[in-house]
Structure 1
Amino acid sequence: MTRITRRTMLRGSASLAALLPFAGACAPAQVLSAVGLPSETLDGVRMAELISSGEFTSLDFTDAAIARAEKYNPKINAIATPMFDEARARAATSPTGAFGGVPTFLMDLSQWKGAPTIFGSRAFKDFVSERDSDFVAQWRKNGVVALGKSTTPEAGLISSTEPLLTGATRNPWDLNRIPGGSSGGSAALVAARVVPFAQASDGGGSIRIPAACCGLFGLKPSRGALIQEHTDEGVDLSIKHAVTLTVRDSAALFAAGEDADGGLAPTGMVTGPSTRRLRIAFAPDPNNGAALDAETRAGLERTADLCRALGHEVNDWTMPFDGVEFTDQFLLLWSAGAAGLVDQARTAHPGADVATLVEPWTLGLAQEFISRRERFPGAVSYLKAFERTYHDMFDGFDVILTPTVSTLPPEIGEQAPTREYDALRESVVDFAAFTAPMNVAGAPSMSVPVQWSEGGLPIGSMFSARRGDDGMLLALAYELEATKPWIGRKPPLLA
């Protein structure tokens, strides 16, 4: 089969289970003291330290994570393909690296040699990867133990993870709501404390949106910062990284995966806050006609006040470009990917009814591309020029603060791929009103979970900067995390 890219398309003891931070039960104080950390703060960095020191083995952590997956996945439906036997076999070899032996999940848009990669699509339900993608190869080198593939919407083309092939993935904070997309399965598994971090990717908001929905930290790195699959086609939107419980896991994964040939000065390992005070442009209002819900606005106002209290300069600001025009041009590029996926499905299944292979949302996007094909070169030119437009906005400040999404996580079904196309398109465009400009510009952007609704749902605060300023964002994230930590918040699923 043709290689597919996003663009075209316990065994552990009872005492150990109690000790691990994601088991859902409180560990005895005398056991916790042996580790020296409260259970809920045991992230991937700490797991790797405990494995390296010999206090625990990779198999200990892997078996405990599998037990948690078996307990919680029936409720959240976040695993597309379990790989538990392979994971145990790999853990038994004591893999080394920056995250040697730490269990995780890979997003099912990334190829891990010998594992199914189904892209959330009925068209590719039998596809098995013959190679590691470049990004995943780096994670393998870093020593992670892949427990399986996390669920995604079909080809990552929508902001909710409700594919027909595997069914709806649910948010651990409210099982009636979405975890976001396209990295929805990864975010749900991390929010449920099954693993401390999971692989994710972001072509239009797909790291930051699930992070916002699930109360996690999600950094979309700069274009060229991390090792990726490279392409010269159109506008390079997508970059792979992770959703994490802690900032330091994201920073350590970043440092371990930097691309020396990406055209950026190396960031290295960011280990904590900076004393630098930033000039922050506060732009809470969507500029594409979407409406911001009251609780999201209130949460963002609190984030702006928090930044002021920390000594940063925060000034009200408005995005200085036409958001309606940008959205129109971006969706034309996005729909070209859907059209490519439909073509690949037809090639892979000659004679089959394409409607039985790809979802109505994908078909609707593909039809939108076909009807507007003659405008595609102009859209590409507009979006390539937008990179300069975006970076020129930073002459008077360092960071832009916006919501990550315009509402609290919608209910399951609001963005289902079977919904009538025009209504679904409007819902997606309104919900994901803030994230795509940073993909087009190749700029770093992060969702930070420092706010929550009155009903206990997470609200993402999104900070974005110039391309190459990833380290500055990570330092700010450390400061926010230390000031208003979120690691102790657990979703009702774990109660």
Structure 2
Amino acid sequence: MTNLSRRNFLKAGTSLAAMLPFASACAPSQVMSASTPPSGMMDGVRMAELVASGDVSSLELTEAAIARAKTVQPVINAIASPIYDQALERAASAPTGTFGGVPSFIKDLDDWAGAPSFYGSRAFKDNIAEKDSAFPARWRELGIVVIGKSTTPEVGLISSTEPLVTGPTRNPWDTSRIPGGSSGGAAALTASRVTPFAHASDGGGSIRIPAACCGLFGLKPSRGALVSAPFDGPVNLSVDHAVTLTVRDSAALFAAEEAPKDGLTRTGNITGPDAKRLRIAFAPEPPNGASLDAETRTAIEKTAALCESLGHEVVERTLPIDGKKFQDDFLLLWASGAAQFVQQVQTMQPGADITQLVEPWTLGLAQDFASKQDRFEAAIAYLKAFEAEYDSWFDAFDVLLTPTVSTLPPAIGYQAPTGDFAETMQRVTDFVAFTAPMNVSGAASMSVPIQWTDSGLPVGSLFSGRRGDDGKLLALAYELEAAQPWISRKPAILS
């Protein structure tokens, strides 16, 4: 079966109560005895160290992760397809590599050989992958043990993970709310401490949005920095990486996934902060005219103050962007992907009732594209020129700080793919007002979970740079993580 990842078609057993304290990223030399049971509160770097030293086995880690998965799945519904037997067989073979023996999940937009690939769609509910996609293939080389496929909205086209093929995925901090999308299942599982990290991809915010909703670190790598499949469309939006509990997991994965091209050089494994102080542009207002909710505004102002307290220069800015034009042109490119997906499904299943195979949101996008495709060529020209415009912002500063999303995670159903199309479009574009410019420009961008509401919900802070600034952002992330740690916070379902 042809891999239907967004890049290809967007041409434009322990119980939760028994979990151990986190093995801190600040203390990687911590010794754990061989008799200590594997913990769901450890990061992946530490797990890999313990496997390499012989203190625990990959099979122990995998069995414990599967036990945690079985406990939380009825609550959060974040696993599209469990592949426990395959995972136990792989773990028993003691896979080697940088993350040898560490359990994780692959997002259901990519293929893992022998596992189902729904791509979040009813049209592919019986599909089994014949081979790995490009990025999962690198994870196999790294020795990662995949215990399942994480849920995603239909072909990753919306910011809430409520696909009809598997049902809504719930946020572990408040199960009445969404975990974001499109890497919503990955974020919900990682936040629930099932695995220390999970594969995620980002074509319009799909790493950073769920990271913000679920209190995780989410780096969107620069375009061309990491392993990727060939792309021949007009604007390459999507990149693969992970959502993680710790900065060091993201950095170590990044280094292991690197395959720089198109003028980029290797970043290597960033292991700590940089002494250089940065000039940070603080731009809290949504460029498309949406409004911040009060708790998000309070949180992002606290982040700006924290950066100042660390010695960085913070200067408030209004982004020089025509937010309405950017949004309209980006959405036209986005809708072209939906149109291609619908056409592909119709070709594969001629005569079938398309409304029983493809969700209303996806069909609405496809219809929207059909009504506006005479504008497509001009939209692509604008988006191709946007990278230079975006880069020019950084002539006056080093890093851009904004909220990741404009509100706290909304309720399940608020962005459901079955809702009125125009109303859902307004709700989605208001929510995801900040993330798409970095996809169009190919820039590095990260959501950092350093703020929380009084009621205990995470609020993401989005830091962005130019393409190639991944190392700069990771160094800053280490500093923020040390200044305002988040790892000890556990979601409500783990209480």
TM-score bracket relative to the smaller structure:
over 0.9
Offset of residue 350 of structure 1: 1.1
Name the residue aligned to 1:259: 259
Name the residue aligned to 1:137: 137
Q: CA RMSD in A?
A: 2.1
| Deviation larger for 485-494 or 112-121 | 112-121
Offset of residue 41 of structure 1: 5.4
Offset of residue 2 of structure 1: 3.9
Please list the CA deviations of residues 242-262 of structure 1 after superposition, one character each: whole Å capped at 9, or x if unmatched.
000000000000000101435
SS at match of 1:446: strand
| Matched residue type, 1:186 | A
Name the residue aligned to 1:184: 184
Q: Does 1:56 align with 2:56?
A: yes
Q: Name the count of aligned residue pairs.
A: 486
Offset of residue 234 of structure 1: 1.3
Within a 5 Å distance, the mapping from 1:89-100 to structure 2 comes to 89-100=89-100
| Matched residue type, 2:112 | W
Offset of residue 40 of structure 1: 7.3
SS at match of 1:289: coil
Give the whole-Å Cα distance in 1 for the aligned partners of 2:388 and 2:60. 49
Offset of residue 232 of structure 1: 1.7
Contact kept, 8 Å, 2:58 with 2:94, in 1: the verdict is yes
SS at match of 1:401: strand
Within a 5 Å distance, the mapping from 1:128-277 to structure 2 comes to 128-277=128-277
SS at match of 1:396: coil
Give the whole-Å Cα distance in 2 for the aligned partners of 1:16 and 1:90. 24
Give the whole-Å Cα distance in 1 for the aligned partners of 2:311 and 2:390. 26
Name the residue aligned to 2:28: none
Q: Does 1:429 align with 2:432?
A: no
Give the whole-Å Cα distance in 2 for the aligned partners of 1:342 and 1:38. 44
Please list the CA deviations of residues 448-495 of structure 1 after superposition, one character each: whole Å capped at 9, or x if unmatched.
000011111000000000110100000000000001000000001001
Give the whole-Å Cα distance in 1 for the aligned partners of 2:349 and 2:162. 23
Change in CA separation of 1:3 and 1:36 when aligned onto 2, cut-off 3 Å: closer
Contact kept, 8 Å, 2:34 with 2:55, in 1: the verdict is no
Give the whole-Å Cα distance in 1 for the aligned partners of 2:407 and 2:38. 33
Within a 5 Å distance, the mapping from 1:11-160 to structure 2 comes to 18=18, 20=20, 42-160=42-160
Contact kept, 8 Å, 2:40 with 2:65, in 1: the verdict is no
| TM-score where L is the length of structure 2 | 0.95
Give the whole-Å Cα distance in 2 for the aligned partners of 1:262 and 1:86. 37
Please list the CA deviations of residues 121-167 of structure 1 after superposition, one character each: whole Å capped at 9, or x if unmatched.
01111111122111111110000000010000000000000001100
| TM-score where L is the length of structure 1 | 0.95
Please list the CA deviations of residues 359-408 of structure 1 after superposition, one character each: whole Å capped at 9, or x if unmatched.
00000000000000111111111000001000011001000000000000
Contact kept, 8 Å, 1:17 with 1:64, in 2: the verdict is no
| Deviation larger for 129-138 or 38-47 | 38-47
| Matched residue type, 1:60 | E
Give the whole-Å Cα distance in 2 for the aligned partners of 1:67 and 1:39. 11
Contact kept, 8 Å, 2:38 with 2:56, in 1: the verdict is no
Change in CA separation of 1:65 and 1:378 when aligned onto 2, cut-off 3 Å: same
Give the whole-Å Cα distance in 2 for the aligned partners of 1:49 and 1:16. 23
Offset of residue 4 of structure 1: 2.0
SS at match of 1:115: coil
Give the whole-Å Cα distance in 1 for the aligned partners of 2:325 and 2:393. 17
Name the residue aligned to 1:28: none
Give the gaps of 5 or more residues in structure 2. Answer: 23-30
Contact kept, 8 Å, 1:186 with 1:199, in 2: the verdict is yes
Contact kept, 8 Å, 1:19 with 1:32, in 2: the verdict is no
Offset of residue 36 of structure 1: 10
Name the residue aligned to 2:279: 279
Offset of residue 15 of structure 1: 10
Offset of residue 325 of structure 1: 0.6
SS at match of 1:375: helix
| Matched residue type, 1:359 | E
Give the whole-Å Cα distance in 1 for the aligned partners of 2:98 and 2:163. 34
Percent pairwise identity: 66
Contact kept, 8 Å, 2:172 with 2:493, in 1: the verdict is yes
Change in CA separation of 1:37 and 1:62 when aligned onto 2, cut-off 3 Å: closer
Give the whole-Å Cα distance in 2 for the aligned partners of 1:451 and 1:493. 20
Contact kept, 8 Å, 2:33 with 2:55, in 1: the verdict is no
| Matched residue type, 1:148 | G
Name the residue aligned to 1:25: none
Give the whole-Å Cα distance in 2 for the aligned partners of 1:186 and 1:3. 19
Give the whole-Å Cα distance in 2 for the aligned partners of 1:15 and 1:354. 43
Name the residue aligned to 2:468: 468
SS at match of 1:59: helix
SS at match of 2:394: helix
SS at match of 1:273: coil
SS at match of 2:395: helix
Give the whole-Å Cα distance in 2 for the aligned partners of 1:453 and 1:36. 35
Offset of residue 35 of structure 1: 9.0
| Matched residue type, 1:85 | D
Offset of residue 3 of structure 1: 3.7
Contact kept, 8 Å, 1:32 with 1:39, in 2: the verdict is no
Change in CA separation of 1:317 and 1:15 when aligned onto 2, cut-off 3 Å: closer
Name the residue aligned to 1:379: 379
Give the whole-Å Cα distance in 2 for the aligned partners of 1:149 and 1:259. 24
Change in CA separation of 1:16 and 1:150 when aligned onto 2, cut-off 3 Å: closer
| Matched residue type, 2:315 | N
Give the whole-Å Cα distance in 1 for the aligned partners of 2:33 and 2:126. 47
Give the whole-Å Cα distance in 1 for the aligned partners of 2:425 and 2:151. 21
SS at match of 2:412: coil
| Matched residue type, 1:298 | T
Give the whole-Å Cα distance in 1 for the aligned partners of 2:342 and 2:249. 37
